[in-house]
Amino acid sequence: MKIALHGLSLKQEFLQDIKALFRALEKKSFEIHVTQPFDRLLRMQGNTGLTYQLIDSKNKMASMDFLISIGGDGTLLDSVCQVGALETPILGLNTGRLGFLATVTTDTIEEAVNHLSSGNFQIEERSLVSLDCDRKLFNGLNFGLNEFTIHKRDTSSMITVHTYVDGKYLNSYWADGLIVATPTGSTGYSLSCGGPLLSPKAKNLVITPVSPHNLNVRPIVVSDDSEICIEIEGRADKYLVSLDSRSTSVSPELRFKIKKETFSAKLVKLPNYDFFDTLRQKLHWGLDMRN
């Protein structure tokens, strides 16, 4: 089988883990390929002695059976962009911090590779959010695993975000911004702004205001079959929009349509993984912080 490796950063302290990953993959006769960003990181480490092939075209990425994302959740979000509509299954090796999405730890690398090799895993499909607007943004990568966000720039005054769901007026949010999150994104920025947690299998989107002026305004959960339209009003001449970790400034005359993408992200989940276990561990539920 062919396997792709992708990463956005590589600290010296994790180089031994990368070598252990290569050894485990070679032991199971995987054909190892790396993306161009990860190839640059490996070259910066000097003569690592690692043998691999370079993915330098979409056709080569299309031939991959799996992609291993090496880093934190941010790297896994970027891995979804690397794969796109190919829907190549992604396994997250966590060399980052929180790890809601990248769930494989460095001390279980060989075990994870064994599961991949034997087919002892499940594929969990995660819905993506798609953006449509009057101007081409994000180099055509108009989808995200976590959320679409619109936000005021710097210290400018709050903005008004006129929001419609399936053509029907929902609300004009006086706020610092607005988030439209997927179930996966419900554990990210939306959560920190008071949004609800959703199970990954939920068929919903969450609309969450960022620091709303009216305190009675609350997040709302809508069907992921909905089309959400957004118009911006404010004093500034530029605003920020983002899809996951990618952001750009836009002018207020642009109109945005957000809906569920036609394809999904496929995440590899190994035995004993459970979303609710991850929530309890990462959010420290049930722990008495006084002790």
CA distance 130 to 140: 11
Which of helix, strand or coil describes residue 152? Answer: coil
Q: In this structure, are residues 5 and 68 in contact, taking their beta carbons and an 8 Å threshold?
A: yes
Residue 291 — pLDDT band, cuts 50, 70, 90?
A: low
How much of the chain is helix, strand and coil, in % rounded to 5?
25, 35, 35
* pTM of the model as a whole: 0.93
Please give the average per-residue pLDDT across 203-232, as a whole number.
Answer: 96
In the chain, what is the straight-line distance between the N-terminal and C-terminal CA atoms, in Å?
A: 49
pLDDT surpassing 80 at residue 96: no
| From 39, 73, 176, 244, active-site residue | 73
CA distance 133 to 45: 41
Cross-strand partners of 93: 70, 104
The model's pLDDT over 100-159, given as tens digits with 9 standing for 90+, comes to 888 899 999 999 999 999 999 999 999 999 999 988 899 889 999 999 999 998 767 889
Q: How far from 232 is each of 162, 215, 251, 273, CA to CA, in Å?
A: 6, 20, 9, 41
Alpha-helix runs per DSSP H in the chain: 15-27, 36-44, 58-62, 73-83, 109-118, 189-192, 275-283
For the question of residue 73 being annotated catalytic, the response is yes
